[in-house]
Amino acid sequence: MSMSHYLDEGSSSMLKRARLDTLLVLGFSDEDKRGTIQPYDDALVVTLRIGGYDVRRVMVDEGNAAEVMYLDLFRGPNLRPQDLTTYSSLLVSFEGRSVIPMGMIRLPVQTGSNVMEVDFIVVDAFSPYTTILGRPWLHTLRAFSSTLHQKVKYPSRDQVLEILGN
């Protein structure tokens, strides 16, 4: 086979890949705001399947550099202190206080047909949320979130899927 044949074959597959990538545009429009009451400043709170359970009051926060699980949720799905691994860094709570983590636990988080293992830092602190999913989860999922649109969008195979705020 000639060198030009290899180039043609490569160019063809790059064009196919480029065409597929352009079909999967992750973005938000005014149409995505349908069903929300505007204006508001609500946090993006969703329900997700974590550790095999449907978990409500999961806050999606792209400003968070870690995934946090609060003690109430940790006690719910029959997890035990022996399930925790050591986590020695301090966290800062919403009120600005230092919080000593109880430890870390790895649990599967399911979004659609995607399941990924997530390391949660478990803390004994008050929160109206059961857990907070931050940038590591969003980046691994290759997702974009919008509090304005109350949605998370992420690519899955050849389509863009959504997680709706509730």
Neighbours of 129 (CB within 10 A): 21
CATH number for 87: 2.40.70.10
- How many domains are contained in the chain? 1
Per-residue model confidence as pLDDT tens digits over 103-140: 999 999 999 888 999 999 999 888 899 999 999 999 99
Give pLDDT tens digits for 16-54: 444 444 566 777 777 877 777 766 778 999 999 999 999
Question: 95: domain range?
Answer: 3-164
Question: Which residues are CB-neighbours of 77 under 8 A, at least 6 positions away?
Answer: 50, 51, 52, 53
For the chain, what's the residue count?
Answer: 166
